[in-house]
Structure 1
Amino acid sequence: MKSLRWAGLAVFTAAAVALSMTAASAHDPETPEGQAAARAFLADHQPAERHAVVGTAAGVPCVNGKADIYPCKNVDLLSVLPLASMGGGNGNDIWGWTDPSSGKEYAIVGRTNGTAFVDVSTPTAPKYLGNLPSNGGSSTWRDMKVYKDHAFIVADFISGHGMQVFDLTRLRTITTPQTFTADVLYKEFGPAHNIAINEETGYAYAIGSNTCSGGPHMVDIRTPKSPKNAGCVSQDGYTHDTQCVVYRGPHTQYQGREICFNANEDTLTIVDVTDKARPVQLSRKGYSGSQYSHQGWLTEGQRYFLLDDELDESSGTDKRTKTYIWDLADLTNPVHTGTYSSPATAIDHNQYVKGQHTFQANYQAGLRILDVSGVASARLTEVGYFDIYPAGDEAKFNGAWSNYPYFASGIVLVNGIEQGLVVVKPNLGGTEPPPGGRFENTADVQIPDAGAAVTSPVTVSGVSGNAPATLQVNVDIKHTYRGDLVIDLVAPDGSTYRLKASNNDSGDNVLTTYTVNASAETANGTWQLRVQDVYRADTGYIDAWSLQF
C-alpha cells in the first residue's frame, strides 16, 4: 500500500520555484515516480504569455491548419484571455458553470495565486469578473468542480488551504472586476491535489490530501454551504485523480451503486463507495507501460475507461501521447484491451468524454479531440485539435493543463499554463448529446389567450434504450395567471403525460420541474411540451423547457 507523508510547504512564485520533496506535492512524495514528476514539471516552468485574441466578433476560423498563431484542425478560435488580464500567475485547472436562470456560461479558471471567474456567454469577448484569492499562498496545483451553483476549490502545497466553497450566483450582478471571499471554508483537510464531484449523489471527493492516506476524502455537499466529512477511502493509499458515478454499466451486480474509478499512480483502482463508512475496493489493476497513472474518464454507457499516464512519454523511447483503453465488463477484473498512440509527441494530462468524443488537454500538443466510437475494438481516432503551444510538441510540462467541453453552446474552454483562457469551438460534424443528458428548447412560443394548444419540440438523440422512470421535465413558462394553464408532455409515439391541470392558482409563471415515469417510451425522437390556456384575460409564453435523462 502506498502512503503519503506531509512535512512542509512548497512555494511557487513568478521569480523562483522551490520544492521540498518531503513536502506536500502534486505527486505522492513517497514514490520515485511522484518525485520525478514534480521535479520535471517545475523544471519546465516558463513565464506567462501576454498574447490576447479578444473582441473579434466572429472569432478566428481554422483555415489551412492555422487560427491566429495556433496550429489547428476542425477547431476554430474564439478568444484568448491572458493570465495578466485575470489576476496573474500561471494557469492550471479549469471548469465551467451554466447559470440555470439565464443560460449564461462562465469559466472558472484556476491559477497559481487564485481562481478567476470569467463570463464567456459572448465567447469572442470573455469578460473577467473577479478573483477568489488562494487561501494561504500560491500553488502550482489547484482544482475545482461545481455542484448546485457552487464552486468547490482545493489546492495542493498549502497546508491550511482546505476547500473553498463559492456561491456562483453572486456572479449574476457583477459589472466590474471584484476580489471575492469564499462563502465557506471546509477545514477537515489542508492541501489536496484534486477534487471530483458526483453531481447525482451530492458527494465531493478530495484526493491527494493530507488525510485518508492520500486517498479520497469524502465530503457530503448536498447542502453546499454546510459541507460535512463523510469518510475516507484509504485502502490503496494516494489517489491522483478519480471519477465517481452512480454506476449503470454492464456489471449488473453493481448497477445503481456509487463507484469511483481511481488513477492511483501505478494502477486503475475501482472502489464501491455507496456505504461511505465502509468503502469496498473491487479491483486494483496495473498495466503494461505504466509509469504514472494520472487521470481518466468513462465512455458513454460506462463500459470503457480511458486512462492517461503522465510519465510514459518522457520515460520511454516512444514519445507519442498514449491513451490506455480499459474494458470494464467486470468491475472486479478490468482488462486493458489496447493503447492509442497519438501522432503528437507530448505528455497527456486531463481528458473528458462527451458523447462520442474525448477531449484531451495534452500539454504542448494542446487540445486533442478523439472519436471513441471504435472503443469496443480498442480503436480511437483523432478528429480535431487546437495547439495552444505552437513552439513545439515535446514531452514537457507546458501548454494545455485542462479543458472543459460540457457547455450546451458547444464551446470548449482550455486553460494554458502560460497562455491563460483559450476559448475554442470544434466543428466535428454530427450531433453531440448534451452534458448530463439534458435536451433543451429556448425558443419562445406564444400561448394564445383561451385558444388552441401550442407545442414546443425537443429532439432527443444519442440516448440508449428507453426513457427513465424518473424523467425530469424542467419548465419555464411566463404567464400572468398560471391556474389557466394545462400542460402536457407528449412522447415521440404520441403518448401524453399530464403535468398540470387548470386550477384556481392566481400566481404568475410556471417555473418548476415535473417528474414523469416514461420508462415505457423510447428515449430518442421528438418530444413536445404542449400548453393550453383554457380561460380568458391572461397571456403568456413558453420561455424554455428541457428534458433531463
Structure 2
Amino acid sequence: MIKSAFYLFPVLLLLSMGCSKDKGNAAEEDNFVPEPQVGFTPCENGMAGIYPCNGYDLLGRISLAEFRASEGNDVWGWTDPTTNKEYALMGLENGTAFVDITDTENMVYLGKLPSATGSSSWRDIKVYENHAYIVSEADNHGMQVFDLTRLRNVTDTAQVFDNDGRYTGFGNAHNVVINETTGFAYPVGTARNDAFDGGVHFMDLQDLKNPALAGGYGANGYTHDAQVITYNGPDTDYTGDEIFIGANENQVAIVNVTDKANPVGISTFGYDFIAYTHQGWFTEDHRYYIFGDELDEVNFGFDTRTLVFDVSDLDNPVLHTTYTGETTAIDHNGYVKGNQYFLANYRAGVRVLDIMGIANKSISETGFFDTYPSSNSAGFDGVWSVYPYFESGKILVSDINSGLFVIKKSE
C-alpha cells in the first residue's frame, strides 16, 4: 500500500479503509470480543460460506480480534526444517503475529512481536535462515530480527515476544526483500532524505541477529517495493549477477548490486498511464517481469491492469502484454510460483492467473478467493498480500479488515 501518496493523493487515501496513519490505542486495549476460528469450508457453487470463490477452499481463518489488532497488512510464511510445521507471519498495525497453521482445523495463535516503536498501517516481513526480518513505517522502527526456532517451544498461546536483534541504522522502511542465495536483505522506502535518498539499503545477514550495512543505492530516488535475484535468465551479460528491480513510484529501475560498494544502474523504464508504480515479480526463468500500478484503476478507470514486461534484455525492457482482470479492484502484491501468478487484488480477493502461455501473450484467470464479499470496486480494503510457497499447497492470505485466511486449491 502506498506510503508517499499521502501527499500525492491525500483525499483518496485518507478516505479509503486501511490507510489511516494512526489507529489510536484500540489495539492495545483488552476490549476485543473473541471470534471463533473459522474452519474448513469448501468452495461449492461459487461460495465458501460467505466468501465468493472459484476453485479454492477455505481451510481456516483467524480474526484480527484474536490478534488484539485492528488492522492487517503483510504476510509471509515459514516451514520449520526440523519439525516440518508450517507457520504464518502476519503483519498488524501494532506488531507481527505468529500462527502455527500445520493443523488448519486447529490453528494456534502463538503470540505477537510488538512493533519496535509506534503503530503503523505498514509492516513487512521476510524470512532468511529461520529468522524473520521485519520493517515498518513506524517512526524509528528500524529492522527487527526474530529467531523463528523459538516457536518450537511455545506452550502458552498469545504470548508477547521480544526481538532477538534490531538494526537501527535507518528509521522507517516501507518494505524489505531478501535474496536467500546471497544472504542479503534490502530494505526499501526509507526516509527520502537519508543516505540513499529513500532508495535501497544493502544489509549483510551473515551474522543473522546483527545485520550490517554493506552499502546502498539511491540514484533513481525513492523505491517503494522491489525484488532481488541471482540472475539466471536469457541476458548472458548478467548471468550469476545479483540484480535488483525496484518499483520507484513513476518508473521501474534495474540495478546490478553484485558489488555492494559499486552498484551499477542498468536501465529504467516506464509505461503508459502511470499513476503509482507499485510492485512486481520475475517469472522463474527471469524472462518476464509481471507488474502492477496501484492507482491506475482509480485514476484512469481501468479494470484490474497487470503489465508484463519482456526483460530478456535487461538493458532494454519492453512491454510484452497487458492482462485485464475481471473486476475494477486495485491490484496490490503479486507473486509467481511455477506457471501461476498469485495476485492480492484488494476488494476482489486473491486472483490466480495461469501464465503458462505468457510467451504467447496468453494469460487467464483460473481461480480466486474473495475475502471481501461486499464489493469488488476500487478501494483500499480486503486482501493486502498472499504467500503461495508452502510445499503443502496451503496459501496464506492477509486481509486488512478481517485477519488471516488459509486457503488451498480445491481437490
Q: Same fold (TM over 0.5)?
A: yes
Structure 1 SS opposite 2:68: coil
Cα 1:380–1:34 change in 2 (3 A) is: farther
Cα 1:324–1:379 change in 2 (3 A) is: same
Does the 8 Å contact 1:53/1:80 carry over to 2?
A: no
Residue 122 (structure 1) aligns with: 103
Q: What are structure 1's unaligned runs of at least 5 residues?
A: 1-24, 430-549
Give the superposition deviation at 1:345.
Answer: 1.3
Q: What is the one-letter code of the residue matched to 1:141?
A: W
Cα displacement string for residues 52-100 of structure 1 (whole angstroms, at most 9, x for unaligned residues):
67364xx111000000100000000011100110131200001000000
Instruction: Select 1:178's aligned residue among 156, 159, 169.
Output: 159
Does the 8 Å contact 1:357/1:372 carry over to 2?
A: yes
Tell me the TM-score normalized by structure 2: 0.93
Measure, in 1, the Cα distance between the counterparts of 2:336 and 2:386.
11
Measure, in 1, the Cα distance between the counterparts of 2:14 and 2:95.
19
Between Structure 1 and Structure 2, whose CA radius of gyration is higher? 1
Measure, in 2, the Cα distance between the counterparts of 1:41 and 1:389.
19
Give the superposition deviation at 1:26.
Answer: 4.5
Alignment of 1:378-397 (within 5 A): 378-397=361-380
Do residues 422 (structure 1) and 394 (structure 2) align? Answer: no
Give the superposition deviation at 1:338.
Answer: 1.5
Give the superposition deviation at 1:269.
Answer: 0.8
Instruction: Select 1:342's aligned residue among 311, 325, 344.
Output: 325
Instruction: Select 2:309's aligned residue among 302, 326, 345.
Output: 326
Alignment of 1:114-193 (within 5 A): 114-156=95-137, 158-176=138-156, 177-193=158-174
Structure 1 SS opposite 2:226: strand
Structure 2 SS opposite 1:313: helix
Does the 8 Å contact 1:136/1:160 carry over to 2?
A: yes
Structure 1 SS opposite 2:124: strand
Give the superposition deviation at 1:124.
Answer: 2.7
Structure 2 SS opposite 1:124: helix
Structure 2 SS opposite 1:170: helix
Do residues 404 (structure 1) and 387 (structure 2) align? Answer: yes
Residue 297 (structure 2) aligns with: 313
Cα 1:115–1:42 change in 2 (3 A) is: farther
Divergent runs of 4+, >6 A: 46-51
Does the 8 Å contact 2:87/2:98 carry over to 1?
A: yes
Instruction: Select 2:15's aligned residue among 37, 43, 58.
Output: 43
Structure 2 SS opposite 1:84: coil
Do residues 77 (structure 1) and 58 (structure 2) align? Answer: yes
Residue 370 (structure 1) aligns with: 353
Q: What is the one-letter code of the residue matched to 2:311?
A: L
Measure, in 2, the Cα distance between the counterparts of 1:242 and 1:98.
23
Do residues 255 (structure 1) and 239 (structure 2) align? Answer: yes
Does the 8 Å contact 2:75/2:125 carry over to 1?
A: yes
Instruction: Give the % identical residues.
Output: 48
Give the superposition deviation at 1:175.
Answer: 1.7
Give the superposition deviation at 1:291.
Answer: 1.0
Do residues 204 (structure 1) and 188 (structure 2) align? Answer: no
Does the 8 Å contact 1:296/1:308 carry over to 2?
A: yes
Cα 1:148–1:347 change in 2 (3 A) is: same
Structure 2 SS opposite 1:314: helix
Cα displacement string for residues 8-45 of structure 1 (whole angstroms, at most 9, x for unaligned residues):
xxxxxxxxxxxxxxxxx9533xxxx5634565333222
Do residues 352 (structure 1) and 335 (structure 2) align? Answer: yes
Give the superposition deviation at 1:266.
Answer: 1.3
Q: What is the one-letter code of the residue matched to 1:164?
A: Q
Residue 277 (structure 1) aligns with: 261
Residue 27 (structure 1) aligns with: 3
Does the 8 Å contact 2:38/2:61 carry over to 1?
A: no
Measure, in 1, the Cα distance between the counterparts of 2:145 and 2:99.
17
Measure, in 2, the Cα distance between the counterparts of 1:378 and 1:42.
37
Residue 503 (structure 1) aligns with: none
Cα 1:53–1:409 change in 2 (3 A) is: farther
Residue 88 (structure 2) aligns with: 107
Cα 1:71–1:230 change in 2 (3 A) is: same
Measure, in 1, the Cα distance between the counterparts of 2:383 and 2:10.
17
Structure 2 SS opposite 1:372: strand
Structure 2 SS opposite 1:288: coil
Instruction: Select 2:204's aligned residue among 217, 220, 234.
Output: 220
Cα displacement string for residues 261-298 of structure 1 (whole angstroms, at most 9, x for unaligned residues):
11111112100000011111100101112211100001
Give the superposition deviation at 1:112.
Answer: 0.4
Measure, in 1, the Cα distance between the counterparts of 2:377 and 2:33.
22
Measure, in 1, the Cα distance between the counterparts of 2:279 and 2:388.
16
Tell me the TM-score normalized by structure 1: 0.70
Q: What is the one-letter code of the residue matched to 1:155?
A: S
Measure, in 1, the Cα distance between the counterparts of 2:86 and 2:246.
29
Measure, in 2, the Cα distance between the counterparts of 1:255 and 1:52.
51
Q: What is the one-letter code of the residue matched to 1:371?
A: D
Q: What is the one-letter code of the residue matched to 1:306?
A: I
